[in-house]
Amino acid sequence: MSIYVLDASAMVAYLAGERGAEVVEALLNDTNSLCYAHSLNLCEVFYDALRATNEPHAEQTIKDLYDAGVMERHDMSRDFWHSVGRLKARGRISLADCFGIALAQKLGGEIVTSDHHEFDPIVGLSIVSVRFIR
């Protein structure tokens, strides 16, 4: 079973039908894959939708992700957030992306993103496997 952790950029691309949405959709539809998102990354999608529209639409956006097969993880043990803190201390990775990376590490999965700005610098460090959707 393949494990994927979606960051906010991948989820937004999927929801908006942006370039790369087909990659996320294929992962969600693959019966040999599990797709997760940390609560913090879902919060990013929620507030992005809320800024653009309204509360009911933002709630529906998150429901659409759940309905598509995204499974929410709430990991926040001391060991977990220490892992997040260690990642954040290493460099210029957003805190939210550090949560996604730490979750992918914990689950032995691959992080899925469109965000080259944040993730290109870590690809060569072998911190986590990264799949760019575009």
- Which residues of the chain are under the pLDDT cut of 50? none
Q: Render 8-34 in DSSP notation, one character per residue.
A: HHHHHHHHHT-TTHHHHHHHHH-TTEE
- Under 8 Å between Cβ of 126 and 20: no
Walk me through the domains of the chain, giving residue ranges and CATH numbers: 2-111 (3.40.50.1010)
pLDDT of residue 24: 98
Nearest to 16 by CA among 49, 40, 42, 59: 49
Q: What is the pTM of this model?
A: 0.96
pLDDT of residue 122: 87
